[in-house]
Amino acid sequence: MLESLPIITDPWFYVVSVPAVLLLGVSKSGFGAGFGSLAVPIMALAVSVPQAAAILMPVLLLMDLLGLAAFRKELDRRLLRFLLPWGLAGVVLGAVLFRVLDTHVIAGLVGGFTLLFLAQRLVFPPRADSPPPPRWAGAILTAVSGFTSFIAHAGSPPLNAYVIPLKMRPMLYTATMAFFYFFINLSKWIPYALLGLLDLRNMATSLVLLPLAPFGVWMGIRIARRISQELFYRLLYIGMFLTGIKLLWDAFR
């Protein structure tokens, strides 16, 4: 069946896409969540950013559904009700500006912001009694997350800048992010179709990568349920750092 579909046949594409999809699956479990934003930049070594984002859409849908099934009992509903409207507003803005903005500019902005957040956390480390970020900052950062998620599936760095200081338990963080990104990714389907990104070649290629999705999520879930909170956030910072560096490299390359 696959032989009759117009899939991408370049071997280099699969060399970079297989680890990218596995990274994305592991990040969907909450373990190393910052690494998920590397998927599109890695795939962009072989195809354009918009094409990489389109190919990942069915993969993301399956991963999101697996995440909902795994974490449905751990959800912070109050936080999700606050985040979703702002995230969806960012998606709408991304859809409107998609044809206007250069993806390299977006990559540079997201990468720079991510590294600034990490620098602030290192220079001014939070104390145990530090208050949570203000809600207005959360609204802005979540809207930026929806915007960058639409452009390049890179929504986690801005959102993490708001959510990480809330000091949530790893499983509570993971479940809330799983539900948030399920609705955000679901909202992208119609705009992506209207922009002509969901063509037969992209969707057929996604079908080839789809079996990797449950394996990546399974790997991450097994690790996430056994990891300490301190190590969890340390790995989250490492993922955000690598994401920031890669996005800046893409912007100035």
Looking at residue 229, what is its pLDDT?
Answer: 61
Residue type at position 182: F
User: Contact at 8 Å (CB) between 189 and 75?
Assistant: no
Q: What is the span of the domain harbouring residue 21?
A: 2-252
Distance set, CA 59 to CA 3, 21, 96, 136, 175 (Å): 20, 8, 24, 33, 18
**Per-residue pLDDT in tens (0 to 9) along the chain, 253 residues:** 445 567 888 888 998 898 888 888 877 765 555 567 678 777 877 887 788 888 999 998 888 888 787 777 778 889 999 999 999 999 999 999 887 877 677 667 767 776 776 776 676 565 656 677 889 999 999 999 999 888 877 787 788 888 888 878 877 888 888 889 899 999 999 999 998 888 888 898 999 999 888 888 777 777 766 767 677 667 767 776 877 787 788 777 7
Total domains in the fold of the chain? 1
